Structure 1
Amino acid sequence: MIHKIVLDNGLRIVFEQVDYVNSVTTGIWVGAGSINETDENNGISHLIEHMLFKGTKKRSAADIAEEMDSMGGQLNAFTTKECTCFYTKVTSYNFEASLDVLSDMIFNSVLDEEELEKEKKVVFEEILMYDDSPEDYVHELLTKISFKGNSIAYPILGDANTVGKIGVADIKKYMENNYTSDNIVISIVGNVTPEKVKALCSEYFGQFKKSEAETIKDSSYRYKNNIESVHKSIEQYHFCIGVEGYERNNKNYYASNILNNIIGGSMSSRLFQNIREKSGLVYTIYSFNSSYRSAGLFGIYSALKEESIDEVVSRVKIELDSLKKGNITKSEFERSKSQIQGNYILSLENTSNRMTVLGRRELFYNETINPEDIVDTIKNVEYNDIVEVSKELFGCDKYNIALTGNIEKNKDIIKRFDFS
């Protein structure tokens, strides 16, 4: 049974008691990601994620790590375009101790200027690492050109220029505006009682304050058509093509996930079988479905050598032309639907995944959902839904194209990636 608890300060807690495990997974979900940022502070959400591990008034960074290790537990965090999450997984008898660490990090972090400058260097290395990965880089480039002028185009890490200018005062102000009881959800799954959850969360997180700033409603992110190439001195060309997709709460969201599986989201998919397995033209090719609260992006990625470009582009176009017409077999549909359904059911055996479903849904939509209900939603997707979604997604005349590789060798090479 899923419980929702609202504390006196407005903080929402979603909780599922699971008696057959000996652990508890806790996530602190903050509605602050790169879409909340500006040209001046892009990367601040991610930088805060790093800084909260750097020590508190009573624990050093080493103390935090050693204390969690002594529990045999896990402590980590991640930042996305839409949120930041700090999470732990510990044995049930260490549940309170894990909350003590999490609350200490959030409320009592020292946020020292010297430590901030050190951590910026770490983030700079992380930015360089992603820049050195052409696959990651071209995905980010596709998002950037597809939502140019919208905050969803901002990279989660920011860049060296924006991150370098962020100071402690900026971090404190950003946290004051975003780390508020109305913008945070605590999601807990594991072997602990509702009474204990409410009592301990009240004790450790009751000091969250409501935001005094005016609530900003979701923006409408306008999709744009663009083509862009960026030179990198590498052997292969890495490309992404994209079309406008569906936001996460759209009625076509699950149909588009099943369609993604048919196109290139699995080893039995069209792109993988026809372009890699049967022809040996590439090592990697796949499709992806990126869905956000208020926008979506559906795309295809591959990496290839120059002499394979024309053949690969031709074969991808054949598949896209087929999809425009809704040419999908019922056997493809049934196989893909069954795979998506099975993968999701298996994922629910993990308390961390269940915690994520509960936390994300409550944070974004103020909706408490039983994870098993999503299985029924997938089951209810019908063949005609997939066909119509396929026609809608790929019926456009223009595709966004992001390309990286040795552009200086052939400045017109992007013209060979013509999917119009």
Structure 2
Amino acid sequence: MVNKSYLKLLSFQAVFFLLLFFHPSSGGESVIKNVLSNGVTVIFKETEGEGIIAGAVFIKGGSFEDPEGKKGLTNLTLSLLLKGSKNFSAYEINKVFEDSGGYISTSVGEEYSTIEFALRTEDFQKGMKVIKDMMFNPLFPEEKLEMEKRNVIAQIKAKREEGFSYAFDQLRKEMYRGTPYQYSPLGTEDDVNSITVKDVRKRWKELLKGGRFVVALVGDLSYKDAEVYIKKVFGALKRSDYRFPIYSYTITGKKCKTVKREGAQSTILVAYDAPEAGSKDYFSMKVLNGILGSGFTSRLFQELREKRGLAYAVGSFFPTRINMGRFIAYIGTAPEKTEESVKGIVKVVRSIEKGITDEELKTAKEKIIGHFLLEHQTRAKQAWYLGWFETIGLGYQMDSLYPEEINKVSKHDIYNVWKKYVPKGYRCVIVRP
């Protein structure tokens, strides 16, 4: 059992740490938003420090736009951006950022893609030159595509060997049935194998439009000094508007799917309907998730691991989505405890109808806000959150308002969000030996 005095000490230390280290660079003050004539949204926050600037370029449109038979196309397209352009080899692209003590990377999710980077402010002009060449003069070399395809297929195969990843990919098919969200951004082996350079060029052309781009920058540079380089790169995009398409699949009824695979334990995931990012219920569900499955003090951990000894790992998560929000509880357990664990998860999630304590509410909020603030310790994360909030439709201002919105959530709000989504039913995947 976790000692309460120890938890209080940890809580005090966490608050002290936040006050000491976070305050100087926090908040949303001095954030500039500028929408360029071509539809690109620029978010810029000036800081004071040792001469570092970080950026997160969000491109609206992720793997949900991959066409049938070409699942994994967006992921391959973004990874190939770093493999060489007209004026810079793959080595030179990375060298510019790494020699500056920074990095450059790309990633793809279901709803958006990103280019992230950091470097010294004195190298900002050089970094922008590289990014512009990557964007407008990518080579997409055939040999690099084949290499990346092999790497992605290796990742897909590796996920099948890891219990949680395999279970989650199975759960996608159940909780997003009939929508593009049922596929992993990595795609499928057959689809990845079929992707050509022509497919990649076409996909990048689709993404390379002003209305899709949100460019967030945080660093020790004034917007006046940075603006000319920002516009040289992102001002060159073609003008366009973009609206996220709407997808819907409502979870009703109770359905469980069992999948057999080799291994020493069972992995169980249970998914419920949950609010989208733009819903008034979004923050209430964040706190509900904190109460049920975040950390050692959560109900799932205390009930299923501490009291009943069912779990190797247990918890829940509530990923933010523009479409089809989901609340997902999980447990890793011994095969002989599989059925008991499934019932245990469902029972703990249902226990919210009996009420929550003031202590649970307070603890959940502190964990959520504390994690959020600690995440902002680097300029890279600050840029990411500013761009992310703007991209998902909550506005960059939410970066400073988020703790306040979490603190507003009441016990009544939590019960209402639970009642609205959870009793409708769930989708369950059990992966067992």
| Fold equivalence (TM over 0.5) | yes
CA deviation map 1:140-184 (0-9, x unaligned) = 221221111111212110011111111111111111122211111
Match of 2:41 in 1: 12
Query: What is the Cα deviation at residue 366 of structure 1?
Result: 7.7
Task: Please tell me whether the aligned partners of residues 128 and 233 of structure 2 are also in contact (alpha carbons under 8 angstroms).
Answer: yes
Is 1:301 the counterpart of 2:330? The answer is yes
2:377 is the alignment partner of 1:354: no
Whether contact under 8 Å (1:5, 1:13) holds in the other structure is yes
Runs of 4+, deviation exceeding 4 Å = 214-217
Q: Which residue, out of 208, 212, 221, partners 2:248?
A: 221
**In structure 1, C-alpha distance between the alignment counterparts of 2:217 and 2:402, rounded to whole Å:** 19
Equivalent position to 1:181, from 210, 213, 218: 210
Q: Are 2:202 and 1:201 equivalent residues in the alignment?
A: no
Match of 2:399 among 364, 371, 393: 371
Residues 344-353 or 74-83, more deviating = 344-353
1:129 and 2:158 aligned: yes
Q: Distance in 1 between matches of 2:324 and 2:354?
A: 23
Question: 1:258 is matched with which residue: 280, 284, 287?
Answer: 287
Alignment correspondent of 1:33: 62
Amino acid of the structure 1 residue aligned with 2:149:
K
TM-score when scaled to structure 1? 0.91
- After superposition, where does 1:4-403 map in structure 2 within 5 Å? 4-211=33-240, 217-225=244-252, 226-323=255-352, 325-365=353-393, 367-369=395-397, 371-396=399-424, 398-403=425-430
Q: What do you get for the CA RMSD once the two structures are aligned?
A: 1.9
Report how far residue 264 of structure 1 moved: 1.1
Q: CA offsets per residue over residues 3-34 of structure 1, 9 Å max, x none?
A: 11222322221111112453111111111211
Tell me, in whole angstroms, the C-alpha distance in 2 between the residues paired with 1:333 and 1:57.
55
Output the CA distance in 2 between the equivalents of 1:339 and 1:367.
Answer: 23
Distance 1:366 1:319 in 2: 31
CA contact (8 A) 1:240 1:401 kept: yes
Q: After TM superposition, give the deviation of residue 256 of structure 1 in Å.
A: 0.8
Residue deviations 1:84-123 (CA, integer Å, cap 9, x gap): 1011111221222222222222222111222211211111
**What is the count of residue pairs matched by the alignment?**
402
Q: Secondary structure of the equivalent of 1:355?
A: helix
Contact 1:219–1:294 (CA under 8 A) maintained in structure 2? yes
Cα deviation for residue 68 of structure 1 reads: 2.1
Deviation at 1:382, TM superposition (A): 1.6
CA deviation digits over 1:176-209, x for unaligned, max 9?
1222111111110111111122211112222211
SS at match of 2:308: coil
- Contact kept in structure 2, 1:5 and 1:198, CA below 8 Å: no
CA apart distance, 1:342: 2.0
Task: Show structure 2 runs of 5+ residues with no match.
Answer: 1-29
Using a 3 Å threshold, how does the CA distance of structure 1 residues 156 and 326 change in structure 2: closer, same or farther? farther
Secondary structure in 2 matching 1:233 = coil
Comparing 185-194 with 310-319, greater Cα deviation is found at 310-319
Query: CA–CA distance in 1 between the matches of 2:217 and 2:350?
Result: 46
CA distance in 1, matches of 2:398, 2:330: 33
Identical aligned residues as a percent = 25
Letter of the 2:233 partner, please give it: Y
Q: State how far apart, in whole Å, the 2-side matches of 1:331 and 1:372 are.
A: 25
Secondary structure of 2:144's match? helix
**Which deviates more, 154-163 or 35-44?**
35-44
Question: Aligned letter for 1:341?
Answer: I
Q: Equivalents in 2 of 1:361, 1:137: separation in Å? A: 29
CA distance in 1, matches of 2:70, 2:260: 26
Question: Aligned AA for 2:34?
Answer: I
* Alpha-carbon distance in structure 1 between the residues aligned to 2:134 and 2:258: 41
State how far apart, in whole Å, the 2-side matches of 1:166 and 1:314 are.
43
Q: Which moved more, 1:261-270 or 1:96-105?
A: 96-105
The answer to whether the Cα contact below 8 Å between 2:389 and 2:399 also exists between their aligned partners in 1 is no
Q: Which residue identity lines up with residue 227 of structure 2 in the other structure?
A: K
TM-score between both structures, scaled by the size of structure 2: 0.88
Shift of 1:362: 2.2
SS at match of 2:53: strand
Deviations 1:301-334 (A, max 9, x none): 11112222243234333313322x2421121111
Contact 2:37 2:239 in 1 (8 A): no
- Stretch moving more, 217-226 or 367-376: 217-226
**Is the Cα–Cα contact under 8 Å of residues 303 and 348 in structure 2 kept in the other structure?**
no
